[in-house]
Amino acid sequence: MAFGRSRPAPAGPRRPPVEPVTLKILVAGGFGVGKTTLVGAVSEIRPLRTEETLSEAGRPVDDVSGVESKTTTTVAMDFGRITLREDLVLYLFGTPGQDRFWFLWDELAQGALGAVVLADTRRLEDCFAAIDYFERRAIPFAVAVNCFEGAARYPDGTVRSALDLDPDVPLMLCDARSRDSVKEVLASVVEHALALVAPRPDALPAPAAT
């Protein structure tokens, strides 16, 4: 029997590094619905936030009904990034919720694959404008009902009817504070958007939530 140091097994061929596909996703919805929270919960980098303190001067134009405890507001956008898969990276852009900042939406929407519309069952009407915006511009979107504590839960059919959603628009419950919950929402949006805008044999495979 021979003794000695064992030789390492020959290394196999190295797999070339994967160049990830980057996709842009918008996060929209009414004032105080949880957009900044959603981006922050899932971003793997420190999210960029453009928040300012609510002031008395803004009260005549900012409707805080139902979110009276809110003290800050997004005035431009939120930005975050998440890697859904080795070859798939999402850039998240949270839109401002107040009417007076809607002029920013067209610029933020350029190049977006799809969008998440956050909804609050206590103020469903606040997300009508976002849904209308994406429908008019043929931007694929999904609706995620943020489950606030104390908010009533309704059957999907009731919410879908109230929002007048097309049957193919994904609708789901979520917790904007939970990374896993938000990842499921984002995976659903990407899958839905790719099915609509890239129904080709060479299209990027739909992501699986991890």
pLDDT digits (tens, 9 = 90+) for 72-131: 544 458 999 999 988 999 999 998 866 666 678 898 999 999 999 999 999 999 999 999
User: CATH for 21-197?
Assistant: 3.40.50.300
Provide the pLDDT for residue 179: 97
Strand partners, 59: none
27: exposed, middle or buried (C-beta count within 10 Å: 0-12, 13-18, 19+)? buried
Q: The tokens of 123 are what?
A: 């103020």
What is the per-residue pLDDT across 21-62, written as a single tens digit (0 to 9) for each?
999 999 999 888 999 999 999 999 998 866 545 444 444 444
Distances (CA, A) of 180 to 23, 87, 146, 147, 185: 19, 19, 14, 14, 9
Provide the pLDDT for residue 3: 42
C-alpha span between 132 and 140 (Å, rounded)? 12
Pair 127, 134: CB distance under 8 Å: no
Where are the chain's structural domains?
21-197
What is the per-residue pLDDT across 137-163, written as a single tens digit (0 to 9) for each?
999 999 999 999 888 899 999 999 999
Q: The tokens of 135 are what?
A: 């429908």
Name the DSSP class of 12: -
Closest CA to 130 of 122, 119, 145: 119
pLDDT band of residue 210 (cuts 50, 70, 90) is low
Is it the case that residue 69 has pLDDT exceeding 50? no
Higher-confidence position of 162 and 16: 162
Q: Tell me the residue ranges of DSSP E strands in 86-185.
A: 88-94, 114-119, 141-146, 171-174
